[in-house]
Structure 1
Amino acid sequence: MENLLNNSSFFFLFCSMVFYWIRAFFNISIFSSLGKKAIIGGNLSMFFLLIFRGIQEKHFPLSNLSWSLTFIHLIYSNFQFSDFIIGSILAPTALFLNAFASFQIPESLQKLSPLIPALQSNWLMMHVTVMLLSYATLIFGSILSIVFLFLFQSFSLNILLNQLDQLSFRSIGIGFPLLTVGILSGSVWANEAWGSYWSWDPKETWSLVTWIVFATYLHLRLTQQWDGYKSAILGTVGFFAVWICFLGVNFLAKGFHSYGWFH
């Protein structure tokens, strides 16, 4: 059942990416609807996979960024401009994460295992869930910034550029307070588990770097009217900060949050 659900989610996400790209490049409107249906299929497949694995191990596996991105897609796809633009961005990102989790993460880390005593806390649900949602919304907002820069250099689409800019700002504006709450709850949990609020663990350090980048983005946007091109540059910097925080330290560093897969 686990393999069936995992393979189904990969299939639905792949189909969604293809459908949205056909809609984007060939302007065949029916594929926009097909892409959204495929996203729903992928989201449900991953949701039931999480339920299945949670029942097996008696704790809910929360660290699924691919599911979080498809969930964000279903929320944002109802905004002003056609949802195929969002789908063309998020579907391949979710597919990449899904494939990465299946084929690149070491098999020992893919297997479910009992929670160690330090993780058996009421803070688990809040901290991990909030952090995953913050990563998803920040990544989405940052990707829109990258798309803005690409279109800004290539086309003169003022209405579309403004919509991308505003949606990127809204997404980052939601993701930043979630990141803040996630870091604070993690600090309280760390003190409960290890007797210290902050230990400069690689994940903690890059969470702080990511927080500073997006705090700068919002500060300059709100106080210095840094919108459009300037804020898109900062959003793009944030994109790399989030990915290093979410995946990079897991490859290169060892700590409470990561296992140094390249070591």
Structure 2
Amino acid sequence: MSAEQLAELSDLFVVAAVLLYVVAMIAFATELAFGRARPGKAVAKADARQPVAVGAGGAPAVSESEPAPAPAGAEPPRFAAQAGRVALVLAWLGWAANFGAIVTRGLSVDRWPWGNMYEFVVAISFAAVSAFLITQIRHNIRFLGGFVMVTAALGLGLASKIFYTAAGPVVPALDSYWIAIHVTAAIIASGLFTLAGVTGVLYLLRGDGLSRLPSREDLERVAHRAIVFSFPLWTFAVIAGALWADRAWGRYWGWDPKEVWSFITWVAYAAYLHAKATAGWKGRASTIVQLVAFGCLLFNLVGVNIFISGLHSYADVD
């Protein structure tokens, strides 16, 4: 296939990925809406022990530690679980289409396919879905599926409508093997940070009573684990970027806006981890800190590229 045909195929893969992510989102939402609600902290404590029923002989008919029998009709409908399984299949198909878009884009330009804002957002959407699907293999986090799918679909939609750049060569500063090291690490870390950010938003939205979502403690645990994995990758990306800057511009650090906001993002996530490890912050306070850090990440990935000019202004957005 010619370069033009590969570029067109990449664009079609992006459209297919968006459609598959949207349908997967609907299927995940169906399971979440009609599946069994999970008790909140207050409800769980109230239901932990049932009142003692005393019989004629004074012996309790029901033990204090015995849970109450499930009410009639408590089992979720069968189609809810089936929708969840279908959603996972669709999510994997969307992931494959997203991956195909990246590969064919790279083949069409004969370089690593993240040299502009469009390619970068497509890759981050892929990384976010990858983080969700890989985590799902070991831990049941299907409740996050619909929210991750809509985030990825919106990312690809913005990439196609706002950030789109025709396939072509990159500026000389990006024509280096360092793009495979520095940018790849940043993309993987950003995907994990996105998973944590989505979970953090759900934490704030979840009520204390019955909810379709897991407990706040479980949501906080998922976000924390994602950040623990992604923070070293982001640290490596910042260091690799400094080494690349030395080769490209003859200095490790020049206070370019992208460099500054990458460091601000690193400090914000470091503050979150430090607070969790030493000050014992947890719950709403730590979630707000990590969402502030996620906001810094989004501004670094999108805002700096579009609104602030600098040596890293490679958005190519008209």
> Any idea what the Cα deviations from partners look like across 1:63-89, whole Å, max 9, x if unmatched?
2111111111111223544x3212022
Larger radius of gyration: 2
Larger RCO, structures 1/2 (Cα 8 Å, 6+ apart): 2
Equivalents in 2 of 1:249, 1:241: separation in Å? Answer: 10
Equivalents in 1 of 2:188, 2:105: separation in Å? Answer: 20
Partner of 2:26: 18
1:31 is the counterpart of 2:86: no
More helix by share: 1
Go from structure 1 to structure 2 and tell me whether the alpha carbon gap of 1:34 and 1:225 turns closer, same or farther (over 3 Å shift): same
Go from structure 1 to structure 2 and tell me whether the alpha carbon gap of 1:114 and 1:103 turns closer, same or farther (over 3 Å shift): same
1:166 is the counterpart of 2:221: yes
How big is the alpha-carbon RMSD for the aligned residues of Structure 1 and Structure 2? Answer: 2.0
Structural mapping, 1:119-138, within 5 Å: 119-138=174-193
1:155 is the counterpart of 2:163: no
Equivalents in 2 of 1:17, 1:257: separation in Å? Answer: 34
Per mean C-alpha deviation after superposition, the further-off stretch among 20-29 and 125-134 is 20-29
Structural mapping, 1:42-191, within 5 Å: 42-62=94-114, 63=120, 64-81=123-140, 83-105=141-163, 107=164, 110-151=165-206, 153-155=207-209, 160-191=215-246
What is the TM-score when the length of structure 2 is the normalising length?
A: 0.76
Partner of 1:194: 249
Structure 2 segments unaligned to the other structure (5+ residues): 1-8, 36-79, 115-119
The letter for the 1-side match of 2:259 is E
The letter for the 2-side match of 1:77 is Q
> Any idea what the Cα deviations from partners look like across 1:79-132, whole Å, max 9, x if unmatched?
544x32120221111011010000111x4xx11222333222221101000001
Residue 214 of structure 1 aligns to a residue in which SS? helix
Partner of 1:5: 13
What is the TM-score when the length of structure 1 is the normalising length?
A: 0.91
Equivalents in 2 of 1:204, 1:33: separation in Å? Answer: 42
**Displacement, 1:173?**
0.8
**Displacement, 1:221?**
0.4
Count of residue pairs the alignment pairs up:
258
Equivalents in 2 of 1:19, 1:252: separation in Å? Answer: 37
**Displacement, 1:181?**
0.2
Residue 97 of structure 1 aligns to a residue in which SS? helix
**Displacement, 1:3?**
3.4
Equivalents in 2 of 1:50, 1:261: separation in Å? Answer: 18
Per mean C-alpha deviation after superposition, the further-off stretch among 45-54 and 156-165 is 156-165
